[in-house]
Structure 1
Amino acid sequence: MSVKVSVVIPVYNPGEYIEDCISALLRQSLPEDEYEAIFVDDGSTDATPARLDEIAAAHPNIQVIHQESSGWSGKPRNVGTAAARGEYVMYVDNDDWLGDEALERMYRYGVENEADVVIGKMAGKGRPVPVELFRVNRPRASVSNAPLMDSLTPHKMFRREFLESNGIRFREGRRRLEDHVFVVETYLRAANISVLSDYLCYYHIKREDASNAGFQRFDPAGYYGNLREALDIVEKYTEPGALRDSLFRRWLRNEMVERLRGKRLLSLPEDYRQEIFTAIRGVVTERFGPGVAAGMQPTQQIVAALVVDDRLADIEELARWEADIRPTGRLESLGWDGGSLKVGFTAEYQVSDTPMTFRSEGGEDLLDPPLAAETLAAVAGLGVSTLAPVDKSKVDLVVRERSTAAEFFQPVEFTRERVPVEGGTTFRQELRAVATIDPETAANGAPLGTGIWDILVRISSCGWVKEARLGSTRSDDVEKGRLGALSGTPHRVVLPYWTEPHGNLSLDVDLATSRIDRDVRVLAPADVQLGGGRVELPLPVVADTAADAGTVALRFKAAGVPAVRTEGVLTEGPAGTVLTAELPGGLLPGRTWDMGLGLPSARRGKPRWTSLPTALLIAADGTVTVGAAGTPSAAPAPVVVPVPAARKKKSFPSRVAGRLKRGLFG
């Protein structure tokens, strides 16, 4: 069978970090004879070459190419591509890894849509990845209809014949942004690009030693010199106008303006700030017309204008103000409705722990940055205003899996509220929202996987996009809605809970933690009702009318005898969910039967048991009461065995005398 995908991995001294990459490649769902992995060792001096040779010897679809160090990843990627046999080529870095079904899904999606480039959803552990790009699947994307420019790393799948016929290769040598040059050319020359967003394909990892190439301090002159090469590609394949300006805008925004804002700028030494500023200003004044900055948010336009006017000191002043801006969210309501968790919240920006304010002047809404009047006048002279487009502010709610950083947007309905302050000329903006989290569709139409999913609020307003955890600030009545729910088929428990010590809201999906134990251990003996041969007790789990009988269970344990189990049903009572179960046979009298609760777990395929703080106390006469678990057992009833008259027991002296007579004592 022909090879469908060739995975090319440039390698240089990754140490232990390559093990996750190797393991993920060996776990791929695509059959081994349908994909190959090509590791190109670029002169590694650690134990990696021997490790890769060992792996290749054991797996016929893995090969290793050893070469002298080239100093960067461009040449090893080209060498791997030249050796590839696959219909598509996938580039992976040696400290990242793939989702188990990534190759199979991306290949199928690419073939279905006749794509020259396939971009799979990414997750970033300690490093940023595109977010807006992966809101939905995009089978036919382009730079005109999708935010493709948010993703310029090469960790994508490319049709090999497309690369070869167009002569698209990575720039070689020690250089920055060679991936930008490569990827932008593919974007502009591809017949079609497909974005797969409903499966997490690529895990982009920041190493604990922070030695990834992208995290090293760089030489600004060389960096922005290499950036010009990407701009050259855009100019080669586009005409002057709106499209070219929008593409250029990506580099002005991400590689220039954003480096000169807030804490990112202030964390740099002063001499290095000046060096970066000078290099940026050279590109801006040489290559960008006014249409490039005009499409950015007002705050970004202000920074760009200050760059053109050579005002680094004012940029630093603006950065000090922006460094104190942070998003806040208040959880207002929480509860299950038709299998979905409804999350009500408010959100807004704060500056130095007080709500951010805007000015109303002449019928316009304006930003209120702490810049001198002379500086603001200079900005205005460059055609940049301080208008605050608060009517375009929006808020999102995101769920993020803690171990993988996979994140998904949830449906949100929100309103923008103006809250007047200081006599009405100044106002705050508060975003009031209700989000819906359906555990069975929350992962871009797929179920949330087993694990801990943190809840975050993301505010986009006036050029700031910032996120914060939700839950530590909340209304008093939210706790009553913090219940678990049975979800999916087979059923599993989805439990909202508060993290420690911060008290933020997270979801435990399929009992990945022991949080449910804390909730059920508040049960008291008085909460358990007996009658009619049944036992009833309240549970912090929303009743699911579609759940079959036996979805939940009770188990009774007593010392020295086998445990006894009974199946139960959940019903919604006036005070909440009630578990009802028949008292099983086999509960022997004279014992304390500690109770355990069995909740469904899809991944286990059987109940997950947790001990309850209650027990059935069964007296010798069969009377059943409820007490605390661990209560000492009652003494069993005495058993009387009658003795026949013909074998009347002798007294102790008579027995001794008889034994002496028979010589039983020697």
Structure 2
Amino acid sequence: MSDNPMRPTHPTSSTRPESPESPEGSGGSARPDRPAPTVTVIVPVHNTRRYLDRSLGSVFAQTLDPDRIEVIAVDDGSTDGSGAWLDAAAATHPQLTVVHQPPSGGAGKPRNVGLDRAGGDYVFFLDSDDHLGPEALARLTRMAEEHHSDVVYGRIVGAEGRGAPVDLRTTNPRVSIFDSPVYWSLAAYKLFRRSFVERHRLRFVEGRLLAEDLPFGIAALLRADTVSVLADYDCYHLHGRDDDSNASRQDMDWPAYLAYIDTVLADVAAGVPPGPDRDTLMVRHFHGEILMPFAAPYLARDEAGRRAMREAARPLVDRYLTDRVLAALPPGLRLRAHCLRAGLDAELTAVVRADTGRTPGPPHLQDGRAYAAYPHFRDPDHPLPDALYDLTSRVAVQQRLTDLQWVGGVLHLHGSATLRAVGADHVEVVLHRSGAHVGVPAAYGPDGTWHAALDPATAAHGAPMADGVWGLKIAVTAHGTEAGDAGVAGDAGDVGETAGTSPAAAVRREAWLVPEGGAAATDTAPRVVSHGPAGPTVAALFLSSPHGHLHLDLDHDGARRPLGADLRGAAACARSGRATVAAGVTLPGCPVDAGLQFVLRDATRCVALRTTVERAAGDRYRARARLRSGPSGTWRVALRLTAGGLRRELPVQSADGTGPLTLRVP
């Protein structure tokens, strides 16, 4: 990556609270009366007065000690009162320095000015229309300090119409840019070690409204020793402006923009040799920069303007579109890239038009594969390969498990499910165990919701399910509409209009069931359920770690997940030998005709007591026994459960749960 110091060339002025040790206009960032800051927050400001209370306010409200935070706000020629607001804020917030400068045409120069003045161990770039979570800086700097990170990504969440560029779900102190999603977010809003930035002379491109941060972000990720991700806290809130004036939404000289991207990607190619790693990065750039203009901006131009855009993009396609990159793109971008490379200008326009302001038809299903509903599919007058339309690998289950509960010995499950981009018309719950599987049909509604009833006594084609641990998945199938031999041509709306269905056209996918919402509080207590002719068995739901996949454990011996985990009791014996034993326990699903009886055991003997049992709501039982006299000794107390062929002795714990309940008979 080329070095690009980009020092300021326009005169600037700075304001900060007056101090004898820190004269007006000084470029230093640390004052003798304040400790050196841990982090410098750099905020470029241009006509964002309406957002400054939210943006700068989120910095002033950080849980990190204010003495450890330095804020440098660079007013880039604002005309809406932003500069005056910043000056007033600096009078009451000692950590804020304000720099005023003429408008520079983008966020690059204000960020560079802030970098030149920064004194923190770390720098964080905050756009003036976004805001931070209250604990963001404390958490980010702590991770950087603990793991010696050069770059730390905090979780980014979208707000007010803007989506997050990448969904960071897993906190990881050290990630690779080639097998994690971090490279998909090259924007500035993250934490950087300042010594790392200065060692590599990283600076932003000045005078650009869009993609000025690409060279900075790319160079940082390629050169960093340690890139970390903090995904368990919403650090950065990315807003859309209510006047739709975000830089990424503005009109552009797109041929000039693509020529600029050409220079950026030349540096990427210089740093990463040809092969899978470079292709991984280029997939992101085809998504984010190369093919991005080929949408509404492309259609808005006359033929000469469109030709200029195509000619600017083709060198990038020729250099970086390998077969591996092409296969990794979604069908819409795959078709665009192919048309650019092959010079299929009319086809390119048709594909762009199908994606812009039109509702595509349903995907076309044939031979177990799904094809996107774009123009000219199998049109003999426009020979485009089927592989360009193929979205089979992108068909995934979208599902929610919203409720599950036992009713008697039957597990009822409710949720919603469909196949992304394809839809669905059939759902079943599938249980897997050691190569075996059991399918339970689900009632599937037109609104995408489903309900299934799982009875372990009859689920295996009318027979009981085998003992063991079963993983629960949802299987979703779309049969779709199969096209005739003539093929489909014309606009996207033409796809799938011919009638006829075939099982061979079906697309089926499975996904683990993961409870969420109210179902997340899954009742994992073991319970007694019917198991056909063999009599009752012990069943328990549990969630696997760490992914939370739903499993069902059927265990006739009750050894893996014993019943009666809350069995507590008390026992007392008088000198005369009269004794009382009482205990309470929850036994979900216990049959009404089941027997409960106290049992006393020592090393060699067993005594069964006449027991009185009361049943209360919520499968709660209370058992009592009186012993007029008995053999002397110290006895362990258990509660024997008998239900058909199910026979268990459940050890009773003392009332405080500190150990087994014992009865001492003198």
Q: TM-score range by the shorter chain?
A: 0.5 to 0.7
- 1:398 Cα shift? 12
User: Does the aligned pair in 1 maintain the 2:477–2:507 contact within 8 Å?
Assistant: yes
Return the match for 1:200 from 234, 254, 258.
234
Q: Distance in 2 between matches of 1:171 and 1:322?
A: 32
SS at match of 2:255: helix
RMSD of the TM alignment (CA)?
3.4
Aligned residue in 2 for 1:95: 129
User: Does the aligned pair in 2 maintain the 1:110–1:116 contact within 8 Å?
Assistant: yes
User: Does the aligned pair in 1 maintain the 2:210–2:247 contact within 8 Å?
Assistant: no
Aligned residue in 1 for 2:363: 356
- 1:85 Cα shift? 1.1
Aligned residue in 1 for 2:502: 424
Q: Does 1:45 align with 2:48?
A: no
Aligned residue in 1 for 2:547: none
Q: Distance in 2 between matches of 1:424 and 1:118?
A: 51
Aligned CA distance change for structure 1 residues 211 and 379 (closer, same or farther; 3 Å): same
Aligned residue in 1 for 2:350: 317
Aligned CA distance change for structure 1 residues 179 and 200 (closer, same or farther; 3 Å): same
User: Does the aligned pair in 2 maintain the 1:127–1:204 contact within 8 Å?
Assistant: no
SS at match of 2:84: helix
Aligned residue in 2 for 1:281: 314
Gaps of 5+ in 1: 327-350, 400-410, 443-544, 546-570, 575-666
Aligned residue in 1 for 2:290: 256
- 1:290 Cα shift? 4.2
Aligned residue in 1 for 2:56: 22
Deviations 1:59-111 (A, max 9, x none): 11111112222222111111111111111100011111111111111111122
Letter in 2 for 1:310: G
Aligned residue in 2 for 1:67: 101
User: Does the aligned pair in 2 maintain the 1:25–1:98 contact within 8 Å?
Assistant: yes
Letter in 1 for 2:190: K
Q: Does 1:121 align with 2:145?
A: no
User: Does the aligned pair in 2 maintain the 1:395–1:431 contact within 8 Å?
Assistant: no
Aligned residue in 1 for 2:527: none
Aligned residue in 2 for 1:627: none
Return the match for 2:245 from 211, 216, 232.
211
The 5 A counterparts of 1:504-543 are: none
Q: Distance in 2 between matches of 1:164 and 1:124?
A: 31
Letter in 1 for 2:475: T
Q: Distance in 2 between matches of 1:110 and 1:426?
A: 53
Q: Distance in 1 between matches of 2:132 and 2:352?
A: 37
SS at match of 1:178: coil
- 1:38 Cα shift? 0.6
Task: Report which of the two has the higher share of helix.
Answer: 1
Aligned residue in 1 for 2:591: none
Q: Distance in 2 between matches of 1:58 and 1:113?
A: 35
| Percent identical | 30
Aligned CA distance change for structure 1 residues 17 and 131 (closer, same or farther; 3 Å): closer
Q: Distance in 2 between matches of 1:211 and 1:387?
A: 36
Letter in 1 for 2:384: V
Aligned CA distance change for structure 1 residues 325 and 98 (closer, same or farther; 3 Å): same
Aligned residue in 2 for 1:2: 36
Count how many residue pairs are aligned between Structure 1 and Structure 2: 404
Q: Distance in 2 between matches of 1:61 and 1:432?
A: 54
TM-score (ref. length: structure 1): 0.55
- 1:308 Cα shift? 1.1
Return the match for 2:333 from 300, 308, 314.
300
Aligned CA distance change for structure 1 residues 308 and 265 (closer, same or farther; 3 Å): same
Aligned residue in 2 for 1:395: 398
Letter in 1 for 2:159: K
The 5 A counterparts of 1:568-583 are: none
Aligned residue in 1 for 2:276: 242
Deviations 1:509-562 (A, max 9, x none): xxxxxxxxxxxxxxxxxxxxxxxxxxxxxxxxxxxx9xxxxxxxxxxxxxxxxx
- After TM superposition, the structure 1 stretch with the greater mean CA deviation from structure 2, 306-315 or 3-12, is 306-315
User: Does the aligned pair in 1 maintain the 2:351–2:374 contact within 8 Å?
Assistant: yes
The 5 A counterparts of 1:128-207 are: 128-130=162-164, 133-174=167-208, 176-207=210-241
Q: Distance in 1 between matches of 2:81 and 2:292?
A: 39
The 5 A counterparts of 1:420-459 are: 421=481, 422-424=500-502, 427=505, 429=507, 434-438=513-517
- 1:56 Cα shift? 0.8
Q: Distance in 1 between matches of 2:273 and 2:212?
A: 23
Q: Distance in 1 between matches of 2:64 and 2:216?
A: 27
Aligned CA distance change for structure 1 residues 48 and 78 (closer, same or farther; 3 Å): same
Aligned CA distance change for structure 1 residues 118 and 357 (closer, same or farther; 3 Å): same
Q: Distance in 2 between matches of 1:110 and 1:61?
A: 22
Q: Distance in 2 between matches of 1:45 and 1:391?
A: 48
Deviations 1:395-441 (A, max 9, x none): 26699xxxxxxxxxxx9954342426424177454767755225799
Aligned residue in 1 for 2:265: 231
Letter in 2 for 1:224: L
Q: Distance in 1 between matches of 2:348 and 2:473?
A: 36
- 1:376 Cα shift? 7.8
Q: Distance in 1 between matches of 2:394 and 2:262?
A: 36
User: Does the aligned pair in 1 maintain the 2:377–2:389 contact within 8 Å?
Assistant: no
Aligned residue in 1 for 2:11: none
Gaps of 5+ in 2: 1-34, 403-470, 482-499, 522-587, 589-615, 620-666
Q: Distance in 2 between matches of 1:388 and 1:187?
A: 31
Aligned residue in 2 for 1:509: none
Aligned residue in 2 for 1:12: 46
Deviations 1:562-586 (A, max 9, x none): xxxxxxxxx9789xxxxxxxxxxxx
Q: Distance in 1 between matches of 2:503 and 2:520?
A: 44
TM-score (ref. length: structure 2): 0.55
Letter in 2 for 1:357: H
User: Does the aligned pair in 2 maintain the 1:6–1:90 contact within 8 Å?
Assistant: yes
User: Does the aligned pair in 1 maintain the 2:166–2:182 contact within 8 Å?
Assistant: no
SS at match of 2:230: strand
Aligned CA distance change for structure 1 residues 100 and 232 (closer, same or farther; 3 Å): same
Letter in 2 for 1:371: H
Aligned CA distance change for structure 1 residues 231 and 51 (closer, same or farther; 3 Å): same
The 5 A counterparts of 1:633-648 are: none
